[in-house]
Each structure stands twice: as structure tokens, then as C-alpha cells.
Amino acid sequence: MVTLRAHAKINLTLDVIGKRDNGYHDVEMIMQQIDLYDVVTVSLIENSNEINLTCSDEFLPTDQMNIAYRAAVLMQESYNLRCGFKIHIEKNIPIAAGLAGGSTNAAAVIKAINRLCHLNLSLETMKTIGFKLGADVPFCIQGNCAIARGLGELLEPIKGLEHTFIVLIKPNFGVSTQEIYQNLNWQNIKEHPNTTAMVAALAEDNRYRVNHLLCNVLETVTFERYPKVHMLKQFVKRYGPDGILMSGSGPTIFAIYKNYDRAKHAVKSLKKHFPQTYLVMTHNVESL
């Protein structure tokens, strides 16, 4: 049995710089893990190729619709594994939130099976497998903080945002990443993130610069299609965050606080309106 923490992520920047003939978008974004995590436990089922997935959240599918389930099947097929797996996900990351909750579960399953079956796969090999499941899975396997390019699979590790309080606020609805990208006209984007400047600010631990360089080009689409997400961001600004941004395609808004007491006060107040409000910290450790 292997039990792993599957960490969520936020986007400090998210830029779309092109669109391929197949409809997929080229991105350049900085992703940062946080210490909000699901707990994924994987154990072997001998003499069977069955995948048995259970989850603490009854709304999460437990079949091929679940990316963690598909990760186990992919590992079986890729390495001709003659065993099955029992997977249990203790869910803490909200669903369809722009926090890579599904992708990080899949990443944990790949890493757990690598250990259980003594495959000795390298980090790069696991990332390649993960990319077959989703663009965010390679980052979730690698962890910490990185620039993601291409479709999200080309990762450059960088110094992350360390020892920082993050308040996450998710409204009571989800957003489809596919829907947001389909409605994005990338050539009409007016304000792009400055990735180079953000990398430098993180390297120097210049919090003022980091907070002012936060930028996500998907906000324009999500705010238009889901006005409540825009209203949420404006509402959270009342609580004086040092920096604020939407993560991924939304709908989660994250607010950065240097001061713990201010962050705690914001969470206490915001929870009255939005039950899915969390106070977490950034997460930067070795991924293996």
C-alpha cells in the first residue's frame, strides 16, 4: 500500500500565446503548488486486473470518467501489469475549481503504482505518461513551482513563492476548462503576463513585484461567461489582499496575504458567504 498527498496548484501567471490546427492552445504559465491536498491510497489486487476506485466525495465518478482511474489503466497497459489496483481518494480539493484536483490525483496514482510495482520509472518518464491523460498532470508529478510551456507539458523548474499565506475562495459552481478555451480569442488578448519579470521577482523574493505581476488571460473569458466569478474577485478585494487572481480557468479566486492575522480574518468573514474558503500555504519540496 502506498499513500500520497496529491497537492493542488494555483497559477501565478497564465498566458495563451498561440492556437494549433488541432484546436489546442499553446500556453506559457507559472504554476505553484499549495498545501491543500487530497490523500490518495493505492494498493495491489493480486491475480486480477480490476481497478476499484472509491472516493470520500460521492459526486466524483469512480469509473473511466475519473482521470485517476484512467491513470491506473494506462499504467497497466503501458507496462503489461498483471495485477489490479484498489484506489481510495480522500477528497479535500474542490471539484472543477481550476486547482488541478483531478490531475493531481492522476499524478499520485502514477507515482504510487511506480513504487508498488517497482518499475523504477524516472520523473521524466512518469511526466510523459501523465501528459497522455491531461496537460496539468506532468506538473502535478513534478511539483513545486515551474514555468509550463507548450500545451503545459514542457516544464522549467523555478524558485517558487515560499512561506506565503493563500486564501482560496470557490463559489458553489464549477467551470469547464474546455468551454473557457473554446471561447477564448487569443489574438484579441490585450494584457499578457510578463513571465520573465515574474520569474525574476520570485527569484528575488520581491513580494510587492510578485503581487503586481499576477495575470491570467482566461479571466476575461470566464468573467464574461460567469459574471459571478468577477463579482467574487471584486468582493474579495474588500479584505485587503496583497495580491489577487483567478486560478486556471476558474472559478476559484486566490488572495495572497503576507500577514497571517489578516488572512485569518479574511477567511473567517468570507466563509460566511462562501463555505468553500480555505487558508493554505504555498508548497515547495522535493517531488519524489
**Which residues are catalytically annotated?**
9, 136
Which residues fall within 8 angstroms of residue 169, CB to CB, at 6 or more apart? 232, 236, 252, 253, 254, 255, 270, 274, 276, 277
Cell of 59: 459526486
- Determine contact, residues 150/28, Cβ cutoff 8 Å: no
**Where in the chain does DSSP place strands (E)?**
2-19, 25-45, 51-55, 84-90, 145-150, 154-157, 165-169, 215-216, 243-246, 253-257, 277-281
In which residue are the cell numbers 471561447 written?
183
Cell of 239: 479584505
Q: Which stretch of DSSP H or E encloses residue 71?
A: helix 67-79
